[in-house]
Chains A and B, each alone.
Chain A
Amino acid sequence: MKYLDWQNLSKLSVFTLLLCFSLAHAEFLDTPSAELASWQTMVFIAVSVSFSIVIFGYIIASILQNQHYTSVFKDELIQVIFTGIGIAVLLFIIGVFEISLMPILNEKLGGEELTLHASAQTALDKKLNRAEERFEGIILYTNKLAEQGSKYASCSFWSVGFYIGGCSGLNVALGPITTGLSTLAIGITDLYSLNLLNQIGIILYTFLLPLGIFFRTFHLTRQFGGFLIAVALAFGIVFPVSVLFLETISQDFHNNVLGITRDPEHITYIIDDSDVERCNEFNPSFSEHIRPNLGLGDGTTHGTRKGILNETTLDILAAEIIVDIILFTLILIIMLLTFITATVSFFGGTVDLMYLTRLSV
């Protein structure tokens, strides 16, 4: 244990401070606004304050000649060195990632040269806009479908007559469309949450990382400090990195597996627009079209009339919602929670993952 004697600890402390000082001046992960202090400087200040507190405690214990507390503060100093080096290593990995991998990711995503957060923001914005376009398409379609489906033909003379919903057969499409609309609405909410969390990620980083380092200095708040560090790193680093990786996977899926265009006009939602508009409430024969569009395998359909229901056209929408939004958000949440749990245990604590996942429900 000769490496843990006081002289070596002092050298390690100086080394850690120098390491953190260098990182405080590194040019990556810039602050998003002039109002926000440089998070790197705040981290350096937090590490320095932690060192000062522990060294002050050690001096007091030495003056009182209390062996127990001298030993306690020595242990605490090891913890602060551990925190400083741990943070420095993590920041170094982030720096390497930003310098070496970001150009590749930006090229793959077809974007310009952007920083980690800006690139993730662009990817999320694109995703949200795409979902909103889809939503707009469905809304316009639903308005038309519901109005046409509500048409009734009537014939009356004074108080005698009848009425019939000649187009009400169109309403069969409303159920699945509304389900799709609800799912897409949840998806938009999810994506917007991710968008906002990405925006505040760097602010969380500036606030929580220094506080985490400070609180980790003390034995009683070590788990709490570790948790703050984990949350800061999760939202500041892991979150945008995961967004970029998942977006590249999503793009590959669309290009290679689905092989479809993303143009909203190519989606017909069960009943084609032109069929909806053709509905004539005075022509009951129109309802005969509402039967499954079963192909015979040779390009023709059963019977003489073409059915208007086409369930397969929902495939594209379902694939987009599931892959682009639901699966994307789910994997992102799992990655964040797993990272937080692992990081907290790395920094000397435990977080109940089940408890965290209950919050996300």
Chain B
Amino acid sequence: MNHKIFFTLFVLLFSNLSASCGFVCDIVVDEFLLPTFVAVFLTLGFISIIYMIGKITENPRLNVWAQAELGQAILTVIIAVFILGGITWFCTEGSGVAISAGMYSGGSPYSGNMYDISCSYLSNIAEYSNDVMSLIRYNIAVGNIRASLNEFGCKGDELHVNPYGCAMAFLGGPATSWNAHASNYNYVSLFNTSLNIATICFFNSLFLLYLLQYISSGFLYILLPAGIIIRAIPFLRGLGGALIAIIVGLFLFLPFMLTIEAMIWGPIMQNWHSSMIFPDERDIQNDIWPVSLEGIVDIMDWNTVDDFSHNNLIDIFKSTTHIFLAGVFLPYLGFIGVVLVTKDFSKLLGEEVDISKLTQLI
């Protein structure tokens, strides 16, 4: 009797949720609600048919099976309601800011719902990574060009002077050649390491961004209804449960963790990025950009420019560190949380999915 009351209650709740999808975000909730709703009724219809067959054939095993499955179907509906409720809340304008509103009053650079915030944050990280990559590439190009510069003449310094080269410049004779920026070849190898890290951060941010967009565009339409139906089939309960658990993890907890990260790390990244100085064709600041673009054309100017200072190099390393923490370290720290939730849900809905081992396949 209690099961029936609960079941009716949750179906009503489910219907209410499907009616309230008008104010949700870009994710087209009403498009997946119908298949989900159909899947729930198909599952219930399937169980009812089995129950009726059991009654007609007077087979008690079928009746017991149908009654047990009804409990599982109710559990599935509860989870589906939970998912829909979560999505509705996550899609509500300002839900992302609401999470941090009580904790942080400094004003977040992001606004909107959690999916908007997550996407904006990941787009920004990808953009920052791209900027750092451009910065490093510029330095590699400059370093390579400068390192290839050879000068000829009388190399004079306090220790030895070669006056012959100068005196006999037109006719020949002894002379010296030297490369004032030869060390730049060595620095290029350091820049290459940073460029590799920046590239990984760039692709990782894009991976997470497209993953988020992928799951918010078509993931739910197929996997949630499929999970609900498959879960009703006894031998495939583990698979169905895993599909629903993956949706809970990726659709609810991934944007949740990214929103938290955006609130904590977003302002730091924005301040850092606004302090970055990029090369300008007209006004290149010599302390960071020793060679102007005009300088590349006017080779003789290179004699007067300073070499790379340690600050140029350290700035590059620090920029790489910023994007590495934002693009790789923190998202995957959050990802571990998502894995734990998915494991818990899959255990409840069927059998535990060892996602940590599965992800090693990637």
Contacts and interface: CB of A to CB of B under 8 A. Distances in A.
Chain B, interface SS category: helix
A167 to B, nearest CB: 9
A107 interface: no
B180 A36 contact: no
Please tell me the size bucket of the interface on B: 35 or more
Contacts, number: 184
A283 B250 CA distance: 70
B361 interface: no
B265 interface: yes
A265 interface: no
A151 B104 contact: no
A156 interface: yes
Contacts of B196: none
Interface in A101-149: 132, 135-136, 139-140, 142-143, 145-147, 149
A182 B190 contact: yes
A3 to B, nearest CB: 28
Interface stretch (B122-130, B217-225, B324-332): B324-332
Interface string A182-224: 1001101100110011011001101110110000000011111
Given A196-B325, A207-B103, A278-B159, A156 B173 contact: yes
Interface residues of A, number: 73
A68 to B, nearest CB: 9
Interface in A222-270: 222-224, 227-228, 231
A178 interface: yes
Chain A, interface SS category: helix
Given A188-B314, A356-B336, A37 B104 contact: yes
A272 B107 CA distance: 54
A280 B157 CA distance: 11
Nearest to A141: B183
B103 A143 contact: no
Contacts of A150: 150, 178-179, 182
A5 interface: no
A277 B343 CA distance: 65
- Report which residue of B180, B183, B193, B310 has the largest number of chain A beta carbons within 10 angstroms of its beta carbon: B183
Give 10 nearest A-B pairs by CB, closest first.
A35-B106, A146-B183, A150-B179, A146-B182, A136-B310, A157-B172, A150-B182, A352-B356, A223-B340, A139-B310
21 contacts: A36-B104, A37-B104, A140-B310, A146-B179, A146-B186, A150-B150, A150-B178, A151-B178, A152-B176, A152-B178, A155-B173, A156-B172, A157-B173, A178-B186, A220-B341, A223-B340, A223-B341, A228-B337, A277-B159, A282-B160, A359-B329
